[in-house]
Structure 1
């Protein structure tokens, strides 16, 4: 990827994740990235395209991190426990590649863009489906069971963010242990 495009993408992702998408204008992305407006529009047709690419970039970073965590333990129960231990690390800001925890970027983006057919919402749906497939694969679960585990994971992330509960993931470990 072009260096300037990468800089714009990383700046946009960081700003959107930290402050919210609607709260961040293109001029702020330009200021933080240090690139000219013409350069931004050379790489991204509009703000929506930048948002979608930022979501896709975050998806790539998140899934690479999660695969690394889940593939480091045996599949099945150990991987499902590792999932929530990984989420605990993220919630507690111990995952450098994900940055400071500000909830789930995909949940946050979906909340800001209610149109279910929008490219932004579709990028969020794609991410969630990909994560469910990872849970299914590494947890050795059928699709329904992986979806249920994912719902618990989503609840943990939302609780951690909205209630400032840094122990949310640890609190569900006994439940996950019992369910498996």
Structure 2
């Protein structure tokens, strides 16, 4: 990938994530990056193409971050604790890889583009599906109820931390999930 193309993606992602996509025009991306308009359009045919590239980059960064946070979880209880501990770090600005917390870039983007661009919305949905698949692969318990609840509480914690400035939302998700884990793991005669 060319350095200028990468600079445009990095700049756009930073601006879009911190200020919102609709509030940032191409001229602002050009001004901050120092790249000429002709160069931008030689790499991206439109602002939507630049948005898609920014989404792809954020997806890659987020998945790598998440995999690293969950890599050494020996069991489902540890996985739950590590996932929500990692989210808690992110919410409190302690995640260097993800940068300052401004909510979920994919939730924010889908809110701005709910009907305007099926391709952008599709990229946001794909991210969520791949995060769920990663979590499903890591869980040892095959319960769809556990996986769906884990993902729903993860999304809720991110939204609460962003919208309500409830930076401790992730911590409160752990105990209910551990209770659910004990229920779904209980022998059938106990459940």
For residues 85-164 of structure 1, the aligned pairs below 5 Å read 85-115=85-115, 118-142=118-142, 144=144, 145-164=146-165
In structure 2, the CA distance between the partners of 1:75 and 1:3, relative to structure 1 (3 Å rule), is farther
For residues 1-180 of structure 1, the aligned pairs below 5 Å read 1-115=1-115, 118-142=118-142, 144=144, 145-180=146-181
Contact 1:61-1:97 at 8 Å conserved across structures? yes
Shift of 1:116: 8.0
In structure 2, the CA distance between the partners of 1:124 and 1:141, relative to structure 1 (3 Å rule), is farther
Cα distance in 2 for partners of 1:9, 1:63 equals 18
Shift of 1:143: 7.0
Shift of 1:42: 0.7
In structure 2, the CA distance between the partners of 1:174 and 1:143, relative to structure 1 (3 Å rule), is closer
Q: Hey, which bits of structure 1, 4+ residues long, moved more than 3 A?
A: none
In structure 2, the CA distance between the partners of 1:26 and 1:137, relative to structure 1 (3 Å rule), is same
In structure 2, the CA distance between the partners of 1:116 and 1:33, relative to structure 1 (3 Å rule), is closer
Cα distance in 2 for partners of 1:89, 1:10 equals 23
List alignment gaps of at least 5 residues for structure 2: 182-191
C-alpha RMSD of matched pairs (Å):
1.4
Contact 1:116-1:122 at 8 Å conserved across structures? no
Cα distance in 2 for partners of 1:38, 1:142 equals 52
Shift of 1:10: 0.4
- Number of residues paired by the alignment? 180
Shift of 1:139: 1.8
Cα distance in 2 for partners of 1:103, 1:141 equals 29
Contact 1:133-1:146 at 8 Å conserved across structures? no
List alignment gaps of at least 5 residues for structure 1: none
What TM-score do the two structures reach when normalised by structure 2?
Answer: 0.90
What TM-score do the two structures reach when normalised by structure 1?
Answer: 0.96
Shift of 1:117: 6.2
